[in-house]
Each structure stands twice: as C-alpha cells, then as structure tokens.
Amino acid sequence: MRKLSQVWLPTLLVCLATAVASAQSFRVQCPTTTVTHPTAADTEPAYVGPTYTGINGYGTTPAHVNGAIKCQQISGGDGYATMGDGTQTYMFSFGPLSGLADIANGQPGTEVPGVFNSVYGGTFAPGDPATSDGAGPGPNGPTKLSYNGAVGLMADTTGNTAAPSTGHVDPRPIEDVGVMNGNIPAPLMAIDEDDEFFLTLTNVGMIMRPDLFEQHTVHFHGYPNASAFYDGVPDASVAINIGGSFTYYYLAPDAGTYFWHCHITPPEHLQMGMVGQIYVRPRQNRVALGTSLYTALSTQQGDLRTKCDSNTDILCSNPLPLTNTGATQSTDALTGQPYKYAYNDGDGSTAYDVEYPIQIHGFDPNFHFVGMTFNPEGFVDMKDKYFLLNGRSYPDTVTPGPLATISADGAMHYSQPLPTIISIPAGGRALLRISDLDVTEFQTLASLGIPMQVIALNAKLLRDQAGNNLYYNTNSITLGGGESLDVILDTCAVRASMTSCTTPMATGTYYLYTPNLDHLSNDAENFGGLMTEVHVN
C-alpha cells in the first residue's frame, strides 16, 4: 500500500497540478469592503442600532454598519482518519485551506479579511500544518505553524502587488496542503449576525478514487430564506468540478446552531465524512456593558430584517420575552469577558460561560472500505459500527489536541482536529451546540449527573409567540440526521441568578454517553463509541 502510493501519488499530483494551472480556475474571494460593509474593518462593531430603520433599504445610507466581513477556504477531496480501535479509515472529506493554525487548535477557520488575505511567506509541505508542527517529517522542523490566511494566495501574474484583493492563487500549495487532507468533522465555521460570509470551496480531487470525477458542494443546512443558487444542492444549482473554486456568499442568518455538508449523492458523501459545523452568534453578544437586554432586543425590532412580530411573521422565533426581567449585559466573573448568549433572548436566559460544538455521526466501516476501492456501495445494508462525537469515538474524544493520521501520501495529517472535552468552571454554564449528521439512524446522547436544559431546536429559540420560554430540562436528547439543538449544562446546584451561583456542583468528571448501548462500541471492541467526559473544575 505504502509503496504503491509512493509511486502513483506524485504522478497524479503532477498531472492534476498541470491541468489546474492551465485552467487557472482556483480562486479565493474575500473583499475588504462591500455595499453592506463600506469601510474596511476587521472587528465587530458594538451593536447600538439597526442597520436600516423603518422601511428603508438599499440606496439609503445605513443608520449603523453592523457585523463584519468573514472569509474561509476549504478543500473538497479525500483523506484518512483513525477510529477508536486504531483502524485507519478512508473518507471523502473537506479540509482546511484557511485558518490552518486555528483549526489545528480546535477553533473555527473563519477569518476576517486582514487575516485571510495575508500571503504566506514560507513553503507548505504536504500534510501541513501537521508536518510543520512536527507530527511527521518535514522541511520546516518542529516549529508550530501559525499561519491562518488563505492557502495559495499570491501576487497575480500581471504583477499586481495588491494581489490578495484579486484572489489570485497558486494551485501548487493548494494541492500540497489540500490533497488527502480531509477532516472529520469538516472545518469548523463560526460567524456573527450581520456578517457577510464568503466561503470558497476548492475541489482538489480525490486521489484515491481517480475513477470518480466527483463534484462537491456546500449546503448550509437550516439557513432560512436561502437562495437556490447558494443552497449547495447540485440538482437545483451548479456544482463545482475538480480543479475549480466556487465562493458561497451569505449574509449571516438569525443566530443559531446550523451545520453544513456536501449535497452530492448525500447517502454516499455524508456517510463518507463530508459533514461539518457552523454556528451564528447573536447580536446580543455585541451590546455595550450595562445595556438592558430587553431594550437591545427592542432595538432590533426597528429593522424590518431583524424584527420579530408574531402577528405578521409566523416563522419568527424570538419575540420580546413576555416580561422584562431587567437583565443587563454584564461581565462574566468566570471568564472575565462580557457574557455571551446563544440567541437574542432579551432576558439573558441563554447566557453561557463556555461553548462546545458537538457533531454526532456514524461510520460504516464496510462502506468506507468499499468506498476506497472501485466497488459499488449498497445503501440498503448500510450499518454504522463507529459512533462519533466530532469525528472521534471514546476514548479518543478526550485526547487533547488534533489527532494525526498517516495517509496514503506518506505524510501525517491532522484529520481529526476536535476533541470533545467539555471543560466547565464550577458553577458555570456550558452551551453545547449539538448537531447530528448520521445518515442511517437516530442517536441519543445522555448526561450523567448534570441536567440538560434544551433551549433551542433546529437553530430556533424555544419560545412561543406570546414570549414564554419553552425550555425544558432533560437527561437525554435524541436527534436524527439533519437535526440540531442547543443544550445548556448548568454546573450550579443552587443558582441565585443567571449570573451568580450560590452553590456550585462538585468538581470532578461527569459523562455524556449514549443509552443506545450498542453504540458504546468501536466496531468489534465492546467499549468506546458515543461517549465523552465533562470536566467540572
């Protein structure tokens, strides 16, 4: 296997790079200014008022510029991951082509233009950032890679030194980094309400499956009022061929826990691993200290885009709370930062101290083995044997840092960057952004010891049209493929208020695990599966 790939891979790479270079169809897009964000800003301004007021819109000067521009680049291709029992598993997968250092650090690879558009000064090695980080042999030595810009960005051939703004890229580093570099889950994305998001998908090809001329797409699952063009369904739009890039453009939708995946032959590409997470943070995070949260939500009613009037819009989920609780934005004593919220609640009820995105998934080893070769894959007999939280099974879920796997190119790759260690300061509240992209069955996740409070379903706050919160406490949640919800784990035994805890729970280790007991396994190993630890400290 190793020998074979040493012979074939360079040949394939050369062929691909040649074709790509002549077509010049890789490209990234990350403008520093737009109609919506007329001045270049790499930070989120405080939210003090609506972008447009009344019935005004495009053509009039915005009353306030809110949000910022955010960009990300990902590869669509293939790669390898290691299952909990040590089995090396082949995947169709997305990998990071921006925010390499952030992704390896478990953070979103979503960057502001000032970071995204910076040109890399060094030379990428195949397998980067793992190679440069010393996970494998590489030219750069064991210096941690810190670059977060768009891989491949360079001055264009016309000699334009302001190259980053033209999005001109050199395909060679993109292939060096992108080939066989797929992640499970796919690169994490996070944006804020009012952001414009430019996501560039670059199709680097699937080296192990040269028989498949597969396109890839990105479907932003759950985005309200999406356009068909950017919805990522190949049947309803365009799909990007190997050797090309496509930039998806969205104004951030309402805050919530969404997720994304490829929509080409979904039973195949999703099972094979083309699944990822994206969440949108609320405007309420950006209000000034001391501001009434109720007033801040009332202010949002002044812009028809961000307004929620249950009498005229049956699909708005966060009307003003029934009563004004008097909650104000304050500093979180546990983190020293202003409080963060899952939604624009207007009453502080979705405040949290720490947040963890968790994606549930399942791998059928037979399907993946067959998928690495030239076999047809049957769908009726699909049966998951690996049950994954953020692409790992227990005990790998509690291994800190990125997990590296050697791929058929002989290089180590950070294919499983996300541990799922839920670390909560005692007395604090953790927001779990849970999504499920299993393609065969429903999965249950239970909490031992710490109650789960479900505050939102499918990226919408649980609140009725009259403003009553419909949150509920439970010890388990059940999701099918294509569903998400938000859970708060509160480690305060006796709570004085949303922002202060009288008696914290005991410190120590608690567990999240699945009561689908046959899912507590790693294929033949009768131990592992859908489980992780919660550390209260």
Partner 1 sequence: MRTTKMKKAISNVRLFLAPILAVALLLTATAHAAAPGVKGTSFGLAASAAFISQPDGSLVYSWGYACSSGGTAAPFGPATGSACGGTMQIPGPTLIVTQGATVTVTLTNNLPAAAGNTSILFPGFDVTTSGGAAGLLTQEAAHGGTVSYTFTASTAGTHAYYSGTQGDLQVEMGLYGAIIVIPSAIPANCTSGLAASNLTAEGFWGETDFRLAAAAYNHPKACYDREYLFQFSEMDPRIHRQAEEQVVATAAFCATAGDTRCQLEVATEPYHPAYYLINGRSMPDDMDPNYAAEYPHQPYNGNPHMHPGEQVLLRIIGQGRWQHPFHEHGNHVRILARDGNLIVSQSDPVNSLGGPLLFTTTTTPGVAMDGIFYWTGRGLNWDPYGHKPASRDPLAKLPCTPDANGYNTGAPTAINYFEWCQDHNKPVQTAPFGDVADGGPVTLPDANIFTNGAWYGGSPYLGPNATLRATGCSAGAPAGSCGATGSTPPSGTIANPPASEAGFAFMWHSHNEREITTNNIFPGGMMMMMLVDSREFQIDETN
* Sites for partner 1 among residues 465-524 (CB under 8 A): 465-466, 468, 470, 480-483
Per-residue buried b or exposed e for 247-282, using 16+ beta carbons within 10 Å of the residue's own CB: bbebebbbbbbbbbbbbbbbebbbbbbbbbbbbbbb
User: Is the Cβ–Cβ distance between 113 and 31 less than 8 Å?
Assistant: yes
Applying the rule CB under 8 A, the residues between 66 and 85 that interact with partner 1 are: none
Residues 112-151 as x/- pattern, contact with partner 1 by CB under 8 A = ----------------------------------------
Q: Which of 1, 58, 400, 517 is close enough to bind partner 1 by CB under 8 A?
A: 58
**Counting contacts by CB under 8 A, is residue 18 touching partner 1?**
no
How many Å apart are CA 111 and CA 186, to the nearest integer? 16
**Counting contacts by CB under 8 A, is residue 57 touching partner 1?**
yes
**Counting contacts by CB under 8 A, is residue 25 touching partner 1?**
yes
What is the token pair recorded at 340? Answer: 């963060």
Site size toward partner 1 (CB under 8 A) is 94
**Count of Cβ atoms closer than 10 Å to residue 482 Cβ:** 17
**Counting contacts by CB under 8 A, is residue 361 touching partner 1?**
no
**Counting contacts by CB under 8 A, is residue 158 touching partner 1?**
no
Residues 269-308 as x/- pattern, contact with partner 1 by CB under 8 A = -xx--------------------------------xx---
Backbone angles phi, psi at 193, to 5 degrees: -55, 145
Per CB under 8 A, the segment of 179-187, 291-299, 404-412, 464-472 that binds partner 1 is 464-472
Residues 378-417 as x/- pattern, contact with partner 1 by CB under 8 A = xxx-x-----------------------------------
Shorter beta-carbon distance to partner 1: residue 458 or 516: 458
How many Å apart are CA 481 and CA 442, to the nearest integer? 7
Shorter beta-carbon distance to partner 1: residue 144 or 383: 383
**Counting contacts by CB under 8 A, is residue 157 touching partner 1?**
no
How many Å apart are CA 495 and CA 477, to the nearest integer? 23
Per CB under 8 A, the segment of 222-230, 279-287, 343-351, 406-414 that binds partner 1 is 222-230
Per CB under 8 A, the segment of 8-16, 100-108, 327-335, 437-445 that binds partner 1 is 437-445
Q: How many residues does the chain have?
A: 537
**Counting contacts by CB under 8 A, is residue 245 touching partner 1?**
yes
Shorter beta-carbon distance to partner 1: residue 297 or 492: 297
- Give the DSSP letter string of 388-402: EETTB-BTGGG--S-
Q: Which of 439, 450, 498, 501 is close enough to bind partner 1 by CB under 8 A?
A: 439
Q: Which of 441, 444, 469, 495 is close enough to bind partner 1 by CB under 8 A?
A: 441
User: Is the Cβ–Cβ distance between 82 and 403 less than 8 Å?
Assistant: yes
**Counting contacts by CB under 8 A, is residue 40 touching partner 1?**
no
- Which three-class secondary structure state does DSSP give residue 501? strand
Q: Which of 122, 288, 442, 508 is close enough to bind partner 1 by CB under 8 A?
A: 442
How many Å apart are CA 383 and CA 363, to the nearest integer? 8
User: Is the Cβ–Cβ distance between 173 and 124 less than 8 Å?
Assistant: yes
Q: Measuring CA to CA, how many Å separate 224 from each of 17, 218, 300, 353, 514?
A: 38, 15, 18, 28, 31
- Which three-class secondary structure state does DSSP give residue 58? strand
Shorter beta-carbon distance to partner 1: residue 294 or 414: 294
Q: Give the dihedral of Cα atoms 363, 369, 371, 373; nearest 10 deg.
A: 170
- Give the DSSP letter string of 128-195: TTTTTTTSS--TT-SPPP---S-TTB---TT--TTGGGGT-B-HHHHHHHHTT--BSSEEEEEEETT-
CB of residue 26 vs partner 1: minimum separation in angstroms? 10
Q: Which of 90, 460, 491, 521 is close enough to bind partner 1 by CB under 8 A?
A: 460
Shorter beta-carbon distance to partner 1: residue 58 or 86: 58
User: Is the Cβ–Cβ distance between 511 and 374 less than 8 Å?
Assistant: no
Shorter beta-carbon distance to partner 1: residue 283 or 460: 460
Q: Which of 15, 40, 251, 494 is close enough to bind partner 1 by CB under 8 A?
A: 251
How does DSSP classify residue 104?
A: H
- Which three-class secondary structure state does DSSP give residue 5? helix
Per CB under 8 A, the segment of 27-35, 107-115, 175-183, 416-424 that binds partner 1 is 27-35
